[in-house]
Each structure stands twice: as C-alpha cells, then as structure tokens.
Structure 1
Amino acid sequence: MLTELSIKNFAIIDSLQVSFESGLTVLTGETGAGKSIIIDAIGLLIGGRGSSEFVRFGKERAELEGLFTIHKGHYIHDVAEEYGIEITDDMVILRRDISANGKSVCRVNGKMVTISALKQVGSMLIDVHGQHENQMLMNDENHILLLDQYGSNNVSTELSSYRHIYSDYKNINEKLKQLTHDDQQMAQRVDLLQFQINEIEKANLMPNEDEQLMEEKQKLLNFEKLHTALQVSYDALTSDGQGLDAIGIAMRHLEDVSQMDEKLKDFSEIVSSAFYQIQETTYSIRDYYDTLEYDESRLNEIEARLNEIYVLKRKYGKDVQEILQYCDSIKEELDTLTNHEEHLIQLQKELSTVTNKLFASGKKLSKLRQQVADQLKNAIMKELKDLHMDKAIIEIAFDNNESQTVESVHFAKNGIDKIEFLISTNPGEPVKPLAKVASGGEISRIMLALKTIFSQHQGLTSIIFDEVDTGVSGRVAQAIAEKISKLSSGSQVLCITHLPQVAAMSDTHLYISKHEKEDRTYTKITSLNEEEKIKEIGRMISGVEVTQLTKEHARELLQLANKLKASS
C-alpha cells in the first residue's frame, strides 16, 4: 500500500507530505483546491507522461516521492531483480524529478531507472482509475484486452503461442513482399550486393587479422625499446659475479647447511626454485631477442593492410569478424534474389504451413475466450446487480463463427477475434454497443464492477478512484459507496469523491483546501476528526450553508456506514 507521499513544486502545490492508511481513504474539498492534482502527481510517480507544465511557476523542478509497503510474496520482487533493484524490509520507494525543461529523472529504491521501468514497477503497486478510463471502456478495441486480463490464467499460454506463430507469419509475409518488388529495384539490389561481396572477398580477410596486424605493428614501432630492454636484462642475468651467478652461489651455500635447521631448508628450497625459474626465463629472453628483426618494408605493408581493413570496417562492420558475417548474410540475400522463383515457391509453402498453424491456434484461443467470456459476463452482471442495475443484460459478442475458413479470417496480433461488450439496460430492449446505450452514471458503475472483479486477479496494493461516481445519486450513490468500501477490504483504496455517501464509508477522510499568500496559491491537506467529518459531509449534502439539519443528516449517514462496515 501507499504509506507516504511527498510532493514539491508541483502545479499549485508548493510542498505537501501526507501519510495514508489502509482501508478506504476519501479526499474531498472545494473545486480547484488540488484534489485531482494529487492524483496527477501519483500518476506521474508511477510512470505517467510528464511535462514541464507540471513544474510550479518559478521553480527549477518538481519532486515526487512515494513509499509503498508490500508483502513478501508480491511478484514485484521478480521485476525488481530483473532491473537490479534491491528491496529490503518489504518497502519500495519511487521517486521522480521533473525539471523545468521537461526532462525526468526516475528512481526505484535509489537506483536510477528509465520511465518504462518505473511504469512497469508502478503498475504493480497502484492502479489509478479516472474518468478517462470510462472512455477506454467506450472503445471496443479495448474490450479484447479486458477479457484477456480477466482470463489470464486460461488465455495467456495460448495467446503467447499464437503470437509466436504470428511473428513467423509476419516475417514470411515481409520476405514475400521483398521478393515481389519490381524488377528494376531487384536488379539494383542484386548489383549492390554483388559489388559488396566482391569488395569483401577481394580483400581475402582472415579472422582476427586486424588484431594480429596491430600487435605486429606495435612490435615494429617499439623495436628499439624492446631490443635495448631485452639486451640489458639478459646481460644483467648472465654477467659474471651478478644475476644468476650470485643466486647460484647463495643456492649452493644454503644447500650445504639446509639439513641443520628446518627454516634453512625452506630458504634453500625458495632460492633453488628462484634460480631455476630465472635460468629458464633467461634462455627465453635470449631466444626472443634472437627473433627480433626490424623490417621497415614489413611495417609499410602492415600499414597498407590495416588501412584497407579500416575502409571495409567503415562500410560493413566494427571488426573483421563482423565484416565476414555481413558478407555471409548478403550472400544469402543475393542467392534469394537471383533464384527468385525457387525462393518464392518455398516461401509460399512455408506461409501456407504457418497460416494453417496460426488458424488452428487462433481457433483454440477463441474457444478459450468464449469460455472466459461467459464467466466474465456472469461476474459483471452479479456486480451490477449490487449497483442497482439488476435489469441490465451484458453480452460479450465475438465477430467470428464456426464456418470461418483459413482464407476468410483476419489475423491480428491478439488473435482472430473482434470482441465487443454489448448491454441492454432496460427490459425488452435488445443489447447494443456500450457507447450507444449506457449513460455516464451507468458507465461509471460498469467500470466499478470491472475494477471490483479485476482487483481480485491483479495483486495490486492500492487502487485510486478519481471522481468515478460522477452522474449518480440517491440509492445508486449508496450502492457505489458500499461497493468501494467492500473493495477496500482487500486493497487500499484512495477515492476523490463528491458523494456524501462515499465519504461516510471512509476509514480516513482527508480534506484538501487552498489559500493565498503573497499572491501565490498553496494547497493544504488535513485529516478530519469525527466532528470535522460530520461538518464536511454536511457541506457535501447542502452545498454551501451547513445547517443543523444537514449535520444531523450527515451524522445519520455516518451511523449507517458504520453499521454496514460492521456487518460486512
């Protein structure tokens, strides 16, 4: 769950630090006080799109930081390990700084990460649900994603298999497309490949040749230094009275007395070992010295060869090995182009085989989805019944049928299905697309139903609702309040609301206000006690003036909420 949130220099917020508790926390306040700005800040903290416009006017950067506590078995541990992030004491700290030039710096537990990594980690911790998600529900292209999310245990394996085959299907189609280019383009490509192959083969490159030549070049360039160093070393080791002679004298004397004392025996063995090692090295120095030969013409040859290889590196690869690999790959392409008809026939055979496999996988995937669709439909209708939409009928329509053939089906990344959620909200009316039938309040309830269902599958630590109760009142508002409260028993829920019924069900009530100081606007957050909570709920009921009657109404709402929570 989100336990601490720190916001600095963000929009109208100068500096704000707030602690969150488990259960249901509601945020209320006057319009424009900054409630949604706090949710925006959380959205950016978990990888949302940033902008310099979020930085408070006159400040260099906005700073966002959140502390999350997780349970030991949470699957975020696997992702953290993948990114090299350490998690200790079951705590995750997300931080994001947005500078006035729009650049972001993101960190997870102190380790700098990309925005995509922050988003991946953040999506496992918290789910921000605002009114824009109702728009997502209205777009039927997203319905297949919602269905797959619900049925991930049954669908994910076959979907992964389908996508693997689909990747092969796309690759073969791309190769066929390249083979069917017009003759002029193909002839130009053949000429280019033939030129490149000839240029590389003419050089007669050997693996690692460039490295070996550089090594030989360095020896020739440093000939004088090597020659002198080896000569002096050899002379020092072989001169009379020093070097090996001196060590040999010490060795013989120590051998004479080594039996007198164990320590002397150790000294004798060490000196003897050193003598024979130095003697062997001396011979090696002499042999290496004898091989030294300065050849200016050879140095010129090496320079010319390295220059030739350098020209090829600029065109075809960073080293000789990469150039040779490139040559092999364009030989294959040239063979494909020059033997156009044979390769075309072969690719068409491969495409036919892959298409049949893809069709079979798509049909299997579709069958699994239809089973999941029945379960999801029943689950949604059960939740809607609790939200006073018991007359609603949900259907999940598939735009395919058993008579589909491999020739008629349309293959896409997510399968052969086109899926759409249909609804009828009134008895006797046929089901129609959501966008054409459902009102704003109904869409909010459908989305809340889906969130209730999906929260049981996602393992999220926190869920945020940003004014999802818009467009409802009365007993529907009470039903939404009870549903959100029930949802908070399994996950921490933060909710911006204008409904007194939802506020009454809260375990923690935070009031957001703003004030002006020296011509600047500041946002303040206050945790309300019982009396303050009654007053605020009274304001939500009456609008402006809080009378004794509205306070009594607020007190009744709180008493009802406490009874409902105690009985659940």
Structure 2
Amino acid sequence: MLCQLTINNFAIVRFLELDFKPGMTSITGETGAGKSIAIDALGLCLGNRADAGTVRPGATKAEVSARFSLNDIPIAKRWLEDNDLDQDNDCILRRTVGSDGRSRAYINGNPVPLSQAKNLGQLLIGIHGQHAHHAMLKSEHQLTLLDSYANHKMLLDTVTAGYQRCKLIEKELKVLTQSQQERISRKQLLQYQVEELDEFNLSAGEFEEIEAEHKKLANGTALVEACKNELFILQENDQGSVESLINAGITQAHELESYDPLLKNVVSMLNEALIQVQESSSELENYLAGLELDPEHFTHLELRLSKTMELARKHHVSPNELAAHHLTLRTELSSLDSDEEALDELRQQVAASKDSYLVHAKKLSQSRSRYAKELDKQVTQSIHELNMPKGKFTISVTFNEELNSPNGCDTIEFLVTTNPGQPLQPLSKVASGGELSRIGLGIQVITAKKVSTPTLIFDEVDVGISGATAAVVGRMLRKLGDSTQVLCVTHLPQVAGNGHQHMFVDKKTKAGKTETSMTPLDRNQRIEELARLLGGDEITSNTLANAKELLYQTV
C-alpha cells in the first residue's frame, strides 16, 4: 500500500507531503489545477521517463519519494530480498532529476538502474489512464486484459519460453542449412583428398626414415669404399695400421712402467684404446657385411620420396607434415558427417519443440476461453448497471496453429452489441465514445479485482460518463477500495462522493510564480467541494443539499 508521497520542485509543485490511507481516495480540483500532478510524480518514482522540464523553474533538481508498506505484498518483499534491497516491511522509492535532465533512482537508499525501479513498481501500483479505453480497441491490449483477468501467468510464461526455444532451434537449423551446400562441396573435396592420402598411406615419421635410407643408398658405393679405407687404416695397413701402432705403443709402455710404476695408467689407457679400435673394426666389418645396395629397393624409396614431396606441394605443407595433415583432413571429414547428424537432430528438435509449444498453447487457449466466458458475464452485467440495459459483451477466442507468437496462437476480439436485435460486432465498430468509456471502465474495474497489485490509480477514467451512470461507477470503485487501495482522479461529484477520503488540488499564482497544493478535506470541506463540482462557482443551498446526499450515502 502507498503510505506517503513527498514531492520537491516537481513541475509546478514546490513541496508536497501527502499521507495516504487504505480504501478509495478521491482526488478533485479545478480544471488546470494539476489534479494528476501527484500521479505524474509517482510515475517518476516508478521509472517513467524524465527530462529537464520536470524540474520546477528556478530549482536545481526535482525529487520525489514514495513510501510503501509491504505487509500485504509478499511478491514485492521477495523481489527486494532477491535483489538484496530489502528493509523491514517498508519500501522507499526515490527519484531525482537534475536541471540538466539527468536522473537517478534509489530503492531503500540504494542507487539502482531505472529498469529495477520499473520492475518493482509494477508489483506495487497499477495505473489506469483516461485514455485506457482507447487502447482496448487494439487486439493486443484486449489479449493483455484477458490474461490479466485469467491470471495464468505460469501458463503464459511456459508458452513464451516454448516459443523462444522454437525460434532458437529454428535459427540454429537455418544457419546449419544455409551452409549445407558449402559443406557438401567441402565434403566431396575432402573425400577425394583423404582417399588419395589413404591409398598412399604415409605413416607418422615415415618420411624422415625414407629420406635417411634414400640418402644412404644414394651414396652406397662411396660408403663401401670409405668403410674399406677405414678398415685398412685401422688394421690392414702393413706399413703401420692403427692397431699395430697401438700394440707397439703398449709394448713400449710396459718397458716404461718397469722403470717407473707411475706410468701404469698409460698402459691401461693404451689397452683400452686398442679395444676401442678392435671394436670399431668389428663394427665396420659387420656393417659392410650387412650393407645391401638393392637397386630395386632404392627405386622404390625414390618413388615414395618423390610422391611424398608431390603430395606435400599439392596440400601446401612440408613433406614431414604430410602424415599429420592427412589425419587432420580425416578428422574434418568425420566432423562433416557429424554435422549431417546434427542437422537431422535439429530437424527433430524443431518438430518436437513445435509440438510442445502447441500443446501448451492449446492449454493457454482453453484457459482463455474459460475465463473469457466468465468475464463475458461480468462485463455484460457491469454495462447493464452502467445504463446499457440491453447491451451484451462477448470475447471471441480463436485458436490458429499458424499464428505462432510469444503469447500463443490465439486471436482475441472484444465483441459487443448495445441495442436489441443488433448482432455482436467488434468493439471498435459499435461503441460510441460514451459507451466505450463505460465498457472500458467496467472491464478495468473487473480485471483490477483479479490483479494482485495492492494500489490502483484511476486517472479520469470516468470521462464521458455522467448522471446515474457516474453514481454506479463511484460505487464500483468504492467497492474495489474495500479490498484494494484506490486513488481516483475525477471531475464527477457522484464518483468523488464515494471515496473513503478526499483530497483537493489547488493552484495559486503569487509574485509571478505558480504553485500547486494538495490537501485532505474534512467532512464539511468535502460537502463544499462536491457542491462546487455539482454547481460550479456558485454554491447554493440546493447544491449543498445534493452534495450532502452524495456524501452521506457513502460515509
């Protein structure tokens, strides 16, 4: 519930501090006095757009603060807790606007983005403007009204989520499908390349082995001659092979050792050298014995080496990278096969998500149809009371599977007949301005009863209504005020007299400055204000008497 509203330097308001009570509060005042000023200021707190024109001339900034009691608003308390903004059972929304047009929003003293103030505001207050009945002529607004009355938010959220999922999967499918031709071309190329490389079947590290063996065989004759020369030097040279020279050195070293034992190590080292030379000779002999200079094998190696280099140039890689490149192409080809599987899977997901969406959309449509019939009866009864005794109101709910939207597959249309014998026709084609106001007001009051918003504002929604009809409207709003806080800006005494309390808006100009004030009225002041609304500036005993009747019927 709205408990208090404080306004500083907002438009033509210098300072206002207003306390609000439960029930219906009537707000009246002379034309142009700014009866909607408090509502405009409240809208600022709730996240409405602001500019420098909001600031009172001569002031540096405008500031509006609204305090709410959350005792009966558990959903708002949970929202504050979820956003770490909770503070006991009260909530204070504050908004400042500088003369440069910049604004700041606060919740319980914490600076917040404007979007958060809007989100919270929707849980605290519902505003019905004087042009709301014109919005009713639009199908999308009619759908919103019906859904608000049905209060099947969970079902609607499920349909919206299903629609979004469908669109997301369809988008993925579209992207994948658009690249399908590119994938087909790429796959054909990869299949050819992989088959060619599969046939050649170069293994990892094979190129290096081929290259080394080819180099050996290409230099085979020189290699044999070099090995034989080395053996000749090591052990076959009659004039002094390495082995014979070392043996001679060992003999001489033994002689030296006999002279001085300290030379014993020289003998050992020469013996080790002899062993190394003998082992080297043996290794060379074994190598020569096993060396095969097979021309056919050399030709095979040469062909394989040449093919490796040819394929490497073809694939723009180095020969030693060809085997790894082969594996990369094979992996890519495999992934393209996986893409085909993903495409089939996405098609199945699209079909499944559409089926799921339609199942929930049908449930939503059934809920709408059920509540539409309920609302039909109530609105029809309401317009009977509002001086349209022969009127009939019906909501048409048409389900169409092709009409996929976040709100389901329904087309909603408000149909009405105001005179006997006339067929039901769309609201926009039948109702006159006054009739539209009455029908719209009836719908707003009825749907407001079903909405959990604890405070409702009706800003001159009774335009185009007068007389006995206005009295019925007043009683409707008062009854609504028994369960919900209602603020009603009105120019009709029959409506204003039904308020549990009454506030008067006055505008005065002093020293060239205009200022608006808003004050609560006591019983006598209310009678005078109702008399003014009845008779204008001249208040007579008759208008006072009529005013008392209007007031005493309700208080």
Within 2, Cα distance between the matches of 1:366 and 1:422?
18
Within the candidate set 151, 156, 165, 2:153 is matched to 156
Structure 2 unmatched ranges of 5 or more = 188-330
C-alpha RMSD over aligned residues: 2.8
Which letter does structure 2 place at the counterpart of 1:498? H
Structure 2 matches for 1:189-204, cutoff 5 A? none
* Alignment correspondent of 1:139: 138
* Alignment correspondent of 2:424: 431
* Alignment correspondent of 2:410: 417
Deviation for aligned residue 1:370: 1.3
Structure 2 matches for 1:21-420, cutoff 5 A? 21-71=21-71, 74-88=74-88, 90-152=89-151, 155-181=152-178, 343-400=342-399, 409-420=402-413
Q: Secondary structure at the match of 1:35?
A: coil
Within 2, Cα distance between the matches of 1:371 and 1:432?
21
The 1:72/1:145 distance shift into structure 2, 3 A limit, reads closer
Aligned residue pairs, count: 412
Deviation for aligned residue 1:102: 2.3
* Alignment correspondent of 1:310: none
Contact 2:3-2:67 at 8 Å conserved across structures: yes
Contact 1:179-1:337 at 8 Å conserved across structures: no
The 1:333/1:175 distance shift into structure 2, 3 A limit, reads farther
Deviations 1:210-230 (A, max 9, x none): xxxxxxxxxxxxxxxxxxxxx
Which letter does structure 2 place at the counterpart of 1:472? I
Deviation for aligned residue 1:40: 0.7
Contact 1:336-1:343 at 8 Å conserved across structures: no
Which letter does structure 1 place at the counterpart of 2:97? I
Q: Secondary structure at the match of 1:106?
A: strand
Which letter does structure 2 place at the counterpart of 1:168? R
Which letter does structure 2 place at the counterpart of 1:382? Q
Deviation for aligned residue 1:516: 1.3
Within 2, Cα distance between the matches of 1:144 and 1:345?
37
The 1:74/1:440 distance shift into structure 2, 3 A limit, reads farther
Q: Secondary structure at the match of 1:525?
A: strand
Q: Secondary structure at the match of 1:124?
A: helix
TM-score in terms of structure 1 length? 0.67
Which letter does structure 1 place at the counterpart of 2:392? I
Deviations 1:455-500 (A, max 9, x none): 3332332211111111111110111111111111111211111111
Structure 2 matches for 1:2-17, cutoff 5 A? 2-17=2-17
The 1:420/1:339 distance shift into structure 2, 3 A limit, reads same
Deviation for aligned residue 1:353: 2.6
Which letter does structure 1 place at the counterpart of 2:364? L
Structure 1 unmatched ranges of 5 or more = 191-331, 563-568
Within 2, Cα distance between the matches of 1:524 and 1:138?
36
The 1:168/1:533 distance shift into structure 2, 3 A limit, reads closer
**Which region of structure 1 is more displaced relative to structure 2, 50-59 or 5-14?**
50-59
The 1:59/1:161 distance shift into structure 2, 3 A limit, reads same
Within 2, Cα distance between the matches of 1:333 and 1:484?
71
Which letter does structure 1 place at the counterpart of 2:113? T
Structure 1 segments (4+ residues) deviating >6 Å: 182-190, 332-340
Q: Secondary structure at the match of 1:75?
A: helix
2:545 aligned with 1:559: no
Q: Secondary structure at the match of 1:138?
A: coil
Which letter does structure 2 place at the counterpart of 1:348? R
* Alignment correspondent of 1:528: 521
**Which region of structure 1 is more displaced relative to structure 2, 2-11 or 536-545?**
536-545
Q: Secondary structure at the match of 2:25?
A: strand
Choose 1 or 2 for highest CA Rg: 2
Contact 1:70-1:461 at 8 Å conserved across structures: no
Which letter does structure 2 place at the counterpart of 1:35? K
Identity of aligned pairs, percent?
A: 37
